């Protein structure tokens, strides 16, 4: 079985890893609790869903807007703007406090704009900065490093929110996230700028799909992957809070799943090479389905914890190869330097279409089906759907890189 040797990360990739880890640490501190904050101030799951709809819609639009606004500039520019705008979002939450409940849709849109610029730049920088044979290593190490911070940060945030009365704990957490994003912005100055982004017609982001059958398959798999991601960020948070109404237990749950993700990411980094990717993805899908089935055993917090830990232990086996395989398909285009923006746009828009599809189904379904049942049903349905991705990717990658 052929394997590519693991390569050390270049200095530029290390700087990218550092700034990305700083931003993801801020996310570990606050992102879960931003959603919990929206659930609390809106007093319903519908408010949380509305926030996420605004977020995903804005995220999709911003990918296109960023390709226009920042054409001719290196991807580091929109990445740094994304960091700055996310800082502004947390500053706005601090200013609004309990008044945020009246602006959940607008806040979701603002957050989507900020994170859209951030992820647009980051996704292009990973292609520009990380050597082809180091990608599995980069994503594995970044997953492990970010999971380490993901263990301590939610425990800290949950403790603060549970200890400080009212919304004061949330505001402290958001202030910490703002400071961490500022640090990530400062560190980002060490990342190589990379080549400028070539201005491509918006239609070209879909022309690459029409021109390349293998990329058309990748886009379908990305939509399917997005359907699972649309429920992932909401499921554990809502189910734990619904069962316990405790921010501290939300933090413990988030920390436990982060520890499980860290363990799995390290295993993927060490053992999964080209030639084992499809097997790794199949293992991850089986674990996701098994985790969802655990929720059929009961809705009390021990069952939800068991679901979260098993899901987190197996998700990296699926996600890390599913991130690197599309890059391998992109590598085969001789004009990739000029068209990498088009590839990134089509991929990210497809991902958000899948996410929005799930969130829209959830928003409609909760009017007829109880919220916990609807959430659990979507967890199972979207997990089973990922098995098609293993089959589809297996048909388009060469045997030695499967």
Sorted by where each starts, the structural domains of the chain and their CATH numbers stand as 11-401 (1.20.1250.20)
Average pLDDT over residues 200-208: 69
Residue 377 has pLDDT above 70, yes or no: yes
Name the pLDDT band for 5 (thresholds 50, 70, 90). very low
Among the ranges 22-36, 78-92, 141-155, which has the highest mean pLDDT value?
Answer: 78-92
Question: What is the per-residue pLDDT across 43-52, written as a single tens digit (0 to 9) for each?
Answer: 878 888 899 9
Query: Closest Cα partner for 117 from 82, 87, 80, 88?
Result: 82
What are the distances in angstroms from CA 5 to CA 126, 133, 140, 331, 394? 19, 7, 15, 18, 22
Tell me the range of 78-92, 190-204, 228-242, 345-359 where mean pLDDT is highest: 78-92
| pLDDT of amino acid 317 | 92
Give the chain's mean pLDDT. 84
Q: Report pLDDT for 173.
A: 95
Q: Categorize the per-residue pLDDT at 378 as very low, low, confident or very high, splitting at 50, 70 and 90.
A: very high
pLDDT digits (tens, 9 = 90+) for 218-264: 999 999 999 998 888 778 778 888 888 788 888 888 888 888 888 88
What percent of the chain lies above the pLDDT cut of 90? 31
C-alpha–C-alpha distance, residues 354 and 372, integer Å? 21
CA 186 to chain centre: 23
Distance, CA of 284 to CA of 363 (rounded, Å): 27
Highest mean pLDDT among 103-117, 149-163, 332-346, 349-363: 103-117
Q: Is the pTM of this model over 0.85?
A: no
pLDDT at 4 (0 to 100): 44
Token readout for 265 is 């990411």
Q: How far apart are CA 351 and CA 303, in angstroms?
A: 29
**Residue 262: exposed, middle, or buried by beta-carbon count in 10 A (0-12, 13-18, 19+)?**
buried
């Amino acid at each position: 079985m052929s394997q590519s040797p693991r390569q050390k990360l270049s200095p530029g990739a290390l700087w990218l890893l550092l700034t990305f880890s700083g931003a993801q640490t801020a996310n570990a501190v606050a992102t879960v609790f931003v959603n919990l904050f929206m659930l609390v101030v809106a007093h319903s799951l519908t408010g949380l869903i509305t926030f996420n709809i605004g977020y995903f819609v804005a995220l999709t639009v911003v990918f296109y807007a960023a390709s226009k606004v920042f054409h001719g500039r290196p991807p580091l520019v929109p990445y740094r703007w994304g960091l700055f705008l996310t800082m502004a979002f947390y500053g706005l939450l601090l200013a609004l406090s309990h008044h945020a409940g009246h602006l959940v849709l607008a806040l979701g849109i603002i957050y989507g704009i900020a994170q859209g610029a951030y992820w647009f730049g980051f996704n292009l920088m990973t292609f520009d900065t990380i050597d082809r044979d180091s990608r599995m290593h980069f994503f594995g190490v970044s997953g492990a490093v970010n999971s380490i911070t993901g263990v301590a940060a939610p425990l800290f945030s949950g403790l603060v929110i549970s200890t400080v009365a009212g919304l004061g704990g949330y505001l402290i957490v958001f202030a910490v996230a703002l400071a961490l994003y500022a640090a990530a912005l400062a560190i980002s100055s060490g990342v190589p700028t990379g080549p400028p982004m070539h201005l491509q017609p918006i239609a070209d982001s879909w022309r690459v799909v029409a021109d390349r059958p293998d990329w058309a398959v990748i886009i379908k798999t990305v939509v399917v992957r997005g359907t699972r991601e649309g429920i992932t960020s909401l499921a554990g948070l809502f189910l734990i809070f619904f069962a316990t109404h405790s921010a501290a237990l939300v933090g413990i749950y988030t920390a436990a799943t982060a520890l499980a993700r860290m363990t799995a990411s390290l295993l993927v980094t060490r053992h999964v090479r080209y030639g084992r990717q499809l097997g790794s993805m199949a293992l991850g899908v089986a674990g996701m389905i098994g985790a969802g089935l655990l929720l059929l055993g009961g809705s009390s917090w021990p069952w939800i914890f068991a679901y979260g830990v098993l899901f987190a232990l197996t998700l990296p086996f699926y996600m890390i190869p599913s991130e690197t395989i599309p890059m391998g398909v992109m590598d085969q285009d001789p004009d990739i330097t000029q068209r990498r923006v088009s590839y990134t746009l089509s991929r990210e828009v497809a991902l958000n279409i899948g996410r929005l599809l799930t969130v829209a189904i959830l928003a409609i379904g909760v009017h007829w089906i109880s919220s916990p049942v609807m959430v659990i049903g979507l967890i199972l349905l979207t997990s089973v759907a990922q098995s098609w991705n293993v089959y589809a990717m297996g048909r388009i990658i060469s045997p030695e890189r499967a």
